[in-house]
Amino acid sequence: MSNIFFIGLSLSSILLLIALGLSITYGAMGVINMAHGELVMIGAYTAVLSGIYLNLNLFFALPLAFLVSAAVGLLMERIIIRRLYGRIIDTLLATWGVAILLQQLIRLEFGLTFFGINIKGLGPGLQKMEVPLFLSENFDVLGVTVQPYRSFIILLTIGLALLTWYIMYRTSIGTQVRAIMRNPQMAAACGIDVKKVSAWTFAYGSGLAGVAGVLLAGFKAVVPTMGSSVVVDGFLVVVVGGVGSLLGTLLSAVVLGQINGFFAILTNDIVARAIVFGVVILIILLRPNGLFGFKSR
Amino acid sequence: MDKTESKFAQKLDWSVYILFFIVVLGLPLLTDDVFWLNRISKYLVYGMLGLAIALSWGYAGILNLGQGLFFGLGAYMFAMSLKLKSYTSLQQGSAEPVPDFMVWNAEPGTPTELCCIVPGSWLWIPFQSQTFGMFMSILLPVFIAFIVASAIFRLRVSGVYVAIITLALVLLVRLLIIDAQPLTNGFNGLTDLGWLTLKGFEFDPYMVATYYLVAISCCIVMLLTRWLVSTRAGLILQSTRDDPNRSRYLGYDVASYQIFFFVVSAAIAGFSGMLYVIAAEFASPTFLDITFSISMVVWAAVGGRSSLIGAVIGALLINSIEAAVSESEIFKEAWKLIIGVIFILVVLLLPRGIAGVARDFAGWLESKSLKAKNSED
Amino acid sequence: MNYAITIDGLTVNFGGFKAVDDFTTTVIDGELRVILGPNGAGKTTLMDLISGKTTASSGSVQLFGKAITGESEHKIARYGIGRKFQIPSIFRDLSVIQNLEVAASKEPSVFKNLKFSISSNETDKIKQVIELTELGPFLKKTAGDLSHGQMQWLELGMLITQGAKVLLLDEPTAGMTRQETEKTAEIINQLKGNHTILVVEHDMAFVRDIAEKITVMHLGKLLAEGPIDKIEKNEAVREAYLGSGGIH
């Protein structure tokens, strides 16, 4: 029984990490970033490439991926999202375009494929990241089999969630972000530099996606399309949890992850996911603002 | 700027439609290449999908990110009928046809009967009638669209949440179709299908007659939809898009308009699913991939979301170019990148798409000619 | 005495906060009633209740003797109530004439509207409205491109085209220039008698121009009711709203 719980928990934690970043960008800026999955993918590729060319292992890849994804996110915000302020559906569509763009850039190895150059670690094929040995072997604690890598993911996710909570609720910049979430015009009137804070918030959320990508790279194949499957899951978690509510995102990730895990054992993985989609649809129909959301923006 | 219907703009609109029909219907006169014609018929189906999106999005303000659901359902419904007509299905040694994959999926020892070879296979029984399959192609999408739309619009869910629900829905059904392997052949989809037969005439997909079947259907759907949006109901629908509250206060049950047009859009998608199966000879869960559903939105956006014919042309254009570049793997991937960029640019700069550009150009021409006339006086 | 609107003990309770509290009044057919009151008095909520946007917690609203409490907005609109919003609420992407055409259709259902033609009654009505609002030269213009004042008149015009017998006007002169306000007063005065009008307003000069009877609201309750001079002299009203300067 605890095994089921554990699997569900590790599924939840990846979902949470992805959703955390999304929750911040969606809540803070009202932006539905369909390219969030690609930011995850970029994090994963950063891990792969830094492993190959810089000989960095997992632990160094994590902050590096954070920075790379954050930078890409910042670029996206500056060039595109800023111009679509307030137009939610257009942002959704434009970021979908960015998602395609990013996927193709990786596939085409930033255009170098045209010249016949192939960079190891890029391109349309599968890549993988080595997980440090001490994390990949299971060990026993008091009769319970512990999967260290999955435990590491859970711990890291909790850590990042706490860090995010701390930033949002205990620092002045976090207060500014929350003010912008509630009422951007008022926040601007109070002297908050909405543009700058929004941009950095978006970057932070994107950075979290990068970290999720590194973790995913440890047990999933790294391919250009790995992002698309996670972005929808992430969004559904965020929407169910409620716009702008970190707690809502957390609970939603846990609940949906658990439902998924539970039904996966009961029936199979596929039906479990279908059920989760069904649950999400019901929740959006009955409580469009999510379980903990408030109407803002 | 005056946006609406000057006489000139109306004439232009009609001439584009007529030109389109002439080209589409005249194509077989220009070539004997049935393979090429078959490809074009698939693009015409995509055109209809773009049109369905434009109807829902441009006119009703409802962004359906899961239109592939209705397309897929329509396709599967008819594919089931065609599957039962296929040679292999008739060779299983039973009185009625039994699809080959069911035999592969059956528990050893089960009699090869359509009613009970795999759990739920009796659902296939009525599909032995081709007419049933045709009706279901439209009825099932309509039925599901009606239920979904009623839930969404009566609960006054709006804007982006509608889009998210349609997205989740198509993903959900895709998973169910894949999971029901014994019934649907899962990932592999329905292949090895028979041909549509009308009054004894068999429609080989690589036949001019089949092309005309699809082309004429497409033209009729375009005309009917065009008629629909130019009625009072169409105008009222646009008002519900602009300001649903105001529409309500003028005495219109906004939800019923949204439901009606959402269902019409789904019916068009379902019908085009049927046509696709006739031309392409398969139905697959890939029809319900989100990338496909969102592509439809891209076609409509590039062509012009508020222009029915714009959306059709957008779909034709993009798919033709895609086909042209797919010879080379590299160019294919590069094209996808270009389309991504084009899409971003369209959303940022050209919200009314190519049709918008065309209309602006026509307006500019008109004002120039008016000026010229005035300066002559 | 034909009562267009009868409100009896109308109350709406938002989790303990009574936005409208036991409100009772009657409005005679053809009357023009101004609703005054400070911000938060419940004026807009009252309109929300009458037009069906908000459901009352208790009490009733009758339109020409027919109970309409709790009905949906579009049904109440068809019974004869037209509502004009503070921020002009028109169809910005449609042209002026299209706006009026939408308002003109007497049939609510989709199927009955699957036709092209406008009946001659509707055309006449629209012509009258165009004359009244002086929007003739702008018929093909996109409504979103009109000036603020023109948008307000278009909205008024749509209500008349809709065939509303009772008009609920929420600050119809908000954001208007002096001249636009005068023109609006003209239009409203022309509508008096043929229509029953409830106006929520702040602009005192405008109120003076059009008012017959005034109802003052305060904290959701009915504070005072009567002709202008009586209201001006009313102590409670002065304290709560007017200050000692009177209406000027």
Yes or no, beta carbons of C73 and B249 under 8 Å apart: yes
For residue range B226-249, list pLDDT tens digits in order. Answer: 999 989 999 999 999 999 999 999
- How is C89-133 classified by DSSP, letter by letter? ---TTSBHHHHHHHHH----STGGG---PPPHHHHHHHHHHHHHH
Higher pLDDT, A125 or A79: A79
**Residue C245 predicted with pLDDT over 60:** no
pLDDT tens-digit map of B350-368: 888 898 888 888 888 888 8
What mean pLDDT comes out for the span A264-271? Answer: 84
Q: Indicate left, alpha or beta for B196 from its phi (over 0: left) and psi (-120 to 50: alpha).
A: beta
B228 contact residues in C (CB cutoff 8 A): 114
> Nearest CB to A108: which of B337, B343, B351?
B337
A-proximal residues of B, 139-178, CB under 8 Å:
151-152, 155, 157, 159-161, 163-165, 167-169, 171-172, 175-176, 178
Both tokens of C237, joined, read 């009203």
pTM of the model: 0.90
Domain boundary assignment for chain A = 2-115+146-286
pLDDT at B5 over 60: no
Instruction: Tell me how close the Cα of B236 comes to any Cα of chain A, in angstroms.
Output: 22
Does residue B63 belong to the interface with chain A, where contact is any CB pair within 8 Å?
yes
Q: What is the pLDDT of residue A57?
A: 77
Averaged pLDDT for residues C125-138: 87
For residue A79, the chain B residues in CB contact (below 8 A) are none
Distance from CA of A105 to the nearest CA of B (A): 7
Candidates B269, B275, B50, B292; CA nearest to B141 is B269
pLDDT of residue A259 exceeding 80: yes
Contacts of B143 (CB under 8 A, 6+ apart): none
Of C82, C114, C145, the CB nearest to B231: C114
pLDDT for B1: 32
C109 or B287, which is more confident: B287
Greatest mean pLDDT among A26-30, B269-273, C116-120: B269-273
Looking at residue B142, what is its pLDDT?
97
- Give me the mean pLDDT over the C31-49 stretch: 87
In this prediction, residue A133 carries a pLDDT of 67
SS3 B125: helix
Alpha carbon distances (Å) from C179 to C144, C175, C206: 21, 12, 11
Distance in angstroms (rounded) separating the CA atoms of residues C6 and B376: 65
pLDDT at A209: 92
Q: Given pLDDT bands bounded at 50, 70 and 90, which one contains residue C243? A: low
Six token digits for residue B302: 């590039």
**Range among B35-49, B354-368, C136-150 rated most confident:** B35-49
Lowest-pLDDT range, A24-28, B115-119, B169-173, C180-184?
A24-28
Q: How confident is the model at residue A2 (pLDDT cuts 50, 70, 90)?
A: low
> How far apart are the C-alpha atoms of A90 and A80, rounded to whole Å?
11
pLDDT score for A297: 35
Answer yes or no: is pLDDT of C103 > 70. yes
Q: Is the pLDDT assigned to residue A262 strictly greater than 80?
A: yes
Is pLDDT at A295 greater than 60 in this prediction? no
- The answer on pLDDT for B43 being more than 90 is yes
Q: Which residues of C touch B4 (CB under 8 A)?
A: 94-95, 98, 140, 142
**In this complex, does chain C touch chain B, defined as having at least 3 beta-carbon pairs under 8 Å apart?**
yes
Of C72, C110, C162, the CB nearest to B250: C162
pLDDT digits (tens, 9 = 90+) for A230-248: 788 888 888 888 777 778 8
Chains in contact with A, where contact requires at least 3 CB pairs less than 8 Å apart: B
The reply to whether B247 touches chain C by the CB within 8 Å rule is yes
ipTM for the assembly: 0.87
Q: Answer with the residue of higher pLDDT: C106 or A147.
A: C106
* C109 shares contact with chain B (CB less than 8 Å): yes
Q: Quick count: other Cβ atoms within 10 Å of Cβ B15?
A: 10
Give residue B72's pLDDT: 97
Average pLDDT over residues B171-175: 93
B63-82 average pLDDT score? 95
Angle at A249 between CA A246 and CA A253, to 5 degrees: 145
* Candidate CATH numbers 3.30.70, 1.10.12, 1.10.3470, 1.10.287; the one for domain A2-115+146-286: 1.10.3470
DSSP state of B122: G
**Closest-approach residue (CA) in chain B for A100:** B340
Give residue B136's pLDDT band: very low, low, confident or very high (50, 70, 90). Answer: very high
Residue with the bigger pLDDT between C173 and B151: it is B151
What is the three-class DSSP state of B5? coil
Q: How many CB pairs under 8 A join B and C?
A: 98
What pLDDT, on a 0 to 100 scale, did the predictor assign at position B87?
Answer: 84
What does the pLDDT read at residue B276?
97
State the Cα–Cα distance between residues A125 and A107, nearest whole angstrom: 8
Residues in chain A whose beta carbon is closer than 8 A to a beta carbon of chain B? Answer: 32, 80, 83-84, 88-90, 92-94, 96-101, 104-105, 107-108, 113-114, 124, 228, 232, 235-236, 239, 268, 270-271, 273-274, 277-278, 280-281, 284-286, 288
User: Which is higher by pLDDT, A38 or A141?
Assistant: A38
Q: Which of B161, B297, B341 sits opposite A284 (nearest CB)?
A: B161
> Cα distance from B270 to chain A (closest Cα, Å)?
22
Out of A101, A235, A274, name the one closest to residue B164 (CB).
A235
Please state the rounded mean pLDDT for residues A49-77. Answer: 88
pLDDT range class, residue C194, cuts 50, 70, 90: confident
> How far does the CA of residue A32 sit from the closest CA of chain B (Å)?
9
Give the per-residue pLDDT at C1. Answer: 66
Q: What is the distance between the alpha carbons of residues C82 and C101, in angstroms, rounded to a whole number?
A: 16
Q: Is B245 exposed, middle or buried (0-12, 13-18, 19+ CB in 10 A)?
A: middle
Mean pLDDT score of chain B: 90
Q: Look at residue A43 in the predicted model and tell me its pLDDT.
A: 92
**Which among B231, B243, B252 has the least Cβ separation from residue C115?**
B231
CB contact under 8 A, A96 and B159: no
Helix-helix angle B34-54:B308-325, to 10 degrees? 140
What average pLDDT score do residues B100-113 get? Answer: 84
Of B232, B243, B250, the CB nearest to C77: B250
The pLDDT mean for chain C works out to: 86
Q: Give the dihedral of Cα atoms B366, B369, B371, B375; nearest 10 deg.
A: -170
> Taking residues B1-22, what's their average pLDDT?
73
Residue of B3, B6, B233 with shortest CB distance to C113: B233
pLDDT at A38: 93
The arithmetic mean of pLDDT across residues B3-25, rounded, is 79
Query: Could you tell me which residues come within 8 angstroms of residue A168 by beta carbon, excluding any fewer than 6 positions away?
Result: A174, A177, A178, A246
Write down the pLDDT at residue C247: 54
Which SS3 state, helix, strand or coil, does residue C88 take? coil
**C135 pLDDT higher than 80:** yes
Sequence-ordered list of residues with C-beta below 8 angstroms from that of A149, at least 6 positions apart, any chain: A131, A135, A136, A218, A219
Q: Name the band, by pLDDT with cuts 50, 70 and 90, for residue C242.
A: low
Structure tokens at B207: 């036949």
**pLDDT band at residue A18 under the 50/70/90 scheme:** confident
Give the chain B residue nearest C164 (alpha carbons). B250
The region of weakest confidence among A6-10, B198-202, C41-45 is A6-10
In chain B, whose CA is at the least distance from the CA of A287?
Answer: B157
Residue A294: pLDDT over 70: no
Query: From the CB coordinates, do chains B and A have 3 or more pairs under 8 Å?
Result: yes
DSSP chain A: -HHHHHHHHHHHHHHHHHHHHHHHHHHHH----TTHHHHHHHHHHHHHHHHHHS---HHHHHHHHHHHHHHHHHHHHHHTGGGGTT-HHHHHHHHHHHHHHHHHHHHTGGGGGGGT---TT-SSS-B--PPPHHHHS-EEETTEEE-HHHHHHHHHHHHHHHHHHHHHHHSHHHHHHHHHHH-HHHHHHTT--HHHHHHHHHHHHHHHHHHHHHHHHTTS-B-TTHHHHHHHHHHHHHHHH-TT-HHHHHHHHHHHHHHHHHHHHHS-HHHHHHHHHHHHHHHHHH-TTTTT-----
B95-122 burial, b for 16+ CB within 10 Å, e for fewer? Answer: eebbbbbbbebbeeeeeeebeebbeebe
Query: Which chain B residues have a beta carbon less than 8 Å from that of C90?
Result: 243, 246
